[in-house]
């Protein structure tokens, strides 16, 4: 099976959930016999030097990258506002990218064109005009749901009004474009049902972000009772839900933890860390690392991870990675969406400041609890998150729906 994977940013290096999700499924599809090409925007926001020369991306037969200037601008926002357009989407409309897409489709024959975000849906008609492939949306999130939650949590009235407008425009765009796809692959069972409830009528399945090293990862030793406990946060801090979450934690949780425990440190890592977070470095036992060269080593250097999310959607890859690496964590109900982990079995859940303080305190005080949660979390991954199994099932779904599409086309002739 020949697959073209289309992305709104170049997915390397894999330092964020979106990139991990894109590269993991590509590697898994390759491992079950598929041939994969990559067409990606190389955006100003996530610029990569010499993307077509990256040797580590060996599971792609061909790599195509198109420079795209998607920087936020007041002029662009005002223009979209006047036109009634979604500014989230308009930043990814690019004539050079459209021309390259047509060129690639004319050069190769594909069975499946897999678009890794709804933000590229305005290219669907162009794709359909140049191929008879199965056109797939891999929905990493229900995008407007993220912005609904951000808007709900915004207190400044003018900003809330503008975000509400953007959210409604994005929702209208998603609802308008969902049924243009032959097939949608949701990132979680919950998202799959949500997309169906919004009026999507074609084929669908869900394929979580699996893990590749189920049998090779061992749980690192946890610190002894009374030793320094390193609490870690890692996430792209140019993604608003992450920034919102760490600000909430710093304002409502960390001061109480700081007063209660003299042996606790907070370590914050993330790409594009803003100045107000960097200013905390060295204060109140906080270390701000910025973008780290190796996310895995950062997680392993911590005893406990936190994922305080209130505006996300889809599935949090960083939670899966922390579980895989044997690091217990505290997250919110929204943070855990799409992951079948259970409170006080594989993970701890807290949605209020007091609950978050209480659950984090348990992990600080009880090394054995950290170990138990980590062991059960890794067992869950072995049972539920085998990446090669997901890829095999996805290819089967693609073949089934591709055959149906071709039969339908032959019948209509």
DSSP type of residue 142: -
Q: Are 75 and 202 contained in the same domain?
A: yes
Examine the domain organization and report whether 201 and 255 are in the same domain. Answer: no
Sheet holding 112-115, edge to edge: 60-68, 35-43, 2-7, 112-115, 134-139, 183-186, 203-206
Does residue 222 form part of some domain?
no
Shared domain for 119 and 25, answered yes or no, is yes
Domain match, 375 and 395 both: no
Determine the average pLDDT of the residues in 174-187: 88
- Mean pLDDT score, 45-49: 86
For residue 393, what pLDDT band results from cuts at 50, 70 and 90?
very high
Q: Is residue 12 part of a domain?
A: yes
Task: Report, as an integer, the average pLDDT of 335-339.
Answer: 85
Mean pLDDT of the chain: 87
Q: What pLDDT does 136 receive?
A: 96
The answer to which of 41-55, 146-160, 217-231 has the lowest mean pLDDT is 217-231
Question: In this structure, are 58 and 206 located in the same domain?
Answer: yes
Lowest mean pLDDT among 76-85, 90-99, 250-259: 76-85
- Does 195 reside within a domain? yes
Instruction: Say how many domains are in the chain.
Output: 2
Range of the domain at 283: 229-384
Q: Please give the average per-residue pLDDT across 24-43, as a whole number.
A: 94
For the cut 60, the answer to whether the pLDDT of residue 214 exceeds it is no
Residue 17 lies in a domain: yes
**Average of per-residue pLDDT across 214-223:** 55
Instruction: Please provide the distance, in angstroms rounded to a whole number, between the alpha carbons at the two ends of the chain.
Output: 25
- What's the per-residue H, E or C state across the chain? CEEEEEECCCCCCCCCHHHHHHHHHHHHHHHCCCEEEEEEEEECCCCCCCHHHCCCCCCEEEEEEEEECCCCCHHHHHHHHHHCCCHHHHCCCCHHHHHHHHHHHHHCCCCEEEECCHHHHHHHHHHHHHCCCEEEEEECCCHHHHHHHHHHCCCCHHHHHHHHHHHHHHHHHHHHHHHHCCEEEECCHHHHHHHHHCCCCCEEEECCCCECCCCCCCCCCCCCCCCCEEEEEECCCCCHHHHHHHHHHHHHCHHHHHHHCCCEEEEEECCCCCHHHHCCCCCCCEEEEECCCCHHHHHHCCCEEEECCCCCCCCCHHHHHHHHCCCCEEECHHHHCCCCCCECCCEEECCCHHHHHHHHHHHHHCHHHHHHHHHHHHHHHHHHCEHHHHHHHHHHHHHHHHHHHHHHHHHHC
Whether residues 392 and 380 share a domain: the answer is no
Asked, for residue 249, whether it belongs to a domain, the answer is yes
Q: Tell me how far CA of residue 181 lies from CA of 58, 107, 398, in angstroms.
A: 29, 22, 13
Residue 295 vs residue 97, higher pLDDT: 97
Q: Give the pLDDT of residue 407.
A: 77
Query: Of 75-79, 131-135, 356-360, which gets the smallest average pLDDT?
Result: 75-79
- The whole-number pLDDT of residue 159 equals 79
Query: Does 61 share its domain with 147?
Result: yes
Q: Indicate whether 37 and 126 sit together in one domain.
A: yes
The answer to whether residue 289 scores a pLDDT higher than 60 is yes
pLDDT value at residue 381: 86
pTM of the entire structure? 0.77
360-387 mean pLDDT:
91
> From CA 29, how far away is CA 382, in angstroms rounded?
19
Same domain, 289 and 153: no
Assigned domain for 219 exists = no
Q: Is residue 217 part of a domain?
A: no
Task: Indicate which CATH number applies to the domain containing 278.
Answer: 3.40.50.2000
Whether residues 18 and 132 fall in one domain: yes
pLDDT of residue 356: 98
Domain shared by 246 and 301, yes or no: yes
pLDDT tens per residue across span 226-265: 689 999 999 889 888 899 999 999 999 999 999 999 999 9
State both tokens at 201. Answer: 């009528």
**Residue 10 within a domain:** yes
Note whether 180 and 267 are same-domain residues: no
Q: What's the confidence (pLDDT) of residue 184?
A: 92
Among the ranges given (101-110, 118-127, 139-148, 189-198), the one the predictor scored with the smallest mean pLDDT: 139-148
| Range with the poorest average pLDDT among 95-104, 122-131, 132-141 | 132-141
386's tokens? 């085998």
Tokens linked to 41 = 């925007």
């Amino acid at each position: 099976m020949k697959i073209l994977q289309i992305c709104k940013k170049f997915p390397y290096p894999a330092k964020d959930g979106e990139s991990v999700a894109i590269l993991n499924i590509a590697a898994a599809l390759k491992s079950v016999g598929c041939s994969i090409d990559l067409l990606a925007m190389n955006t100003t926001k996530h610029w990569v030097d010499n993307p077509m020369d990256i040797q580590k991306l060996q599971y792609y037969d061909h790599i195509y990258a198109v420079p795209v200037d998607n920087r936020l601008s007041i002029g662009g926002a005002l223009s979209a506002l006047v036109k009634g357009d979604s500014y989230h989407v308009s930043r990814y409309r690019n004539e050079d990218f459209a021309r390259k897409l047509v060129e690639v489709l004319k050069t190769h024959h594909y069975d499946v064109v897999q678009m890794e975000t709804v933000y590229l849906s305005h290219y669907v008609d162009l794709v359909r005009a140049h191929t008879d492939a199965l056109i797939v949306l891999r929905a990493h999130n229900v995008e407007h749901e993220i912005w609904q939650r951000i808007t709900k949590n915004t207190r400044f009235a003018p900003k809330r009004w503008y975000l509400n407008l953007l959210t409604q425009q994005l929702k209208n765009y998603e609802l308008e474009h969902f049924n243009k796809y032959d097939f949608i692959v949701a990132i979680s069972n919950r998202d799959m049902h949500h997309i169906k409830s919004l009026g999507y009528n074609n084929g669908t399945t869900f394929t979580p972000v699996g893990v590749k090293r189920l049998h090779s990862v061992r749980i690192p030793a946890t610190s002894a009772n009374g030793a320094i406990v390193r609490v870690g946060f890692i996430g792209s801090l140019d993604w608003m839900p992450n920034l919102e979450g760490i600000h909430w934690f710093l304002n409502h949780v960390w001061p109480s933890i700081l007063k209660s425990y003299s042996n606790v440190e907070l370590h914050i890592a993330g790409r594009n860390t803003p100045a107000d977070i960097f200013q905390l470095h060295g204060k109140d036992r906080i270390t701000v690392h910025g973008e780290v060269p190796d996310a895995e080593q950062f997680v392993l250097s911590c005893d406990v991870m936190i994922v305080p999310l209130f505006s996300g959607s889809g599935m949090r890859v960083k939670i899966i990675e922390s579980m895989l690496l044997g690091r217990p964590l505290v997250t919110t109900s929204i943070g855990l969406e799409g992951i079948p982990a259970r409170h006080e079995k594989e993970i701890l859940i807290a949605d209020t400041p007091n609950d978050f303080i209480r659950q984090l305190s348990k992990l600080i005080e009880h090394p054995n609890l950290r170990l138990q949660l980590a062991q059960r979390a890794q067992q869950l991954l072995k049972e539920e998150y085998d990446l090669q199994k997901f890829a095999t099932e996805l290819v089967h779904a693609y073949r089934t729906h591709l055959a149906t599409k071709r039969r339908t086309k032959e019948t209509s002739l």
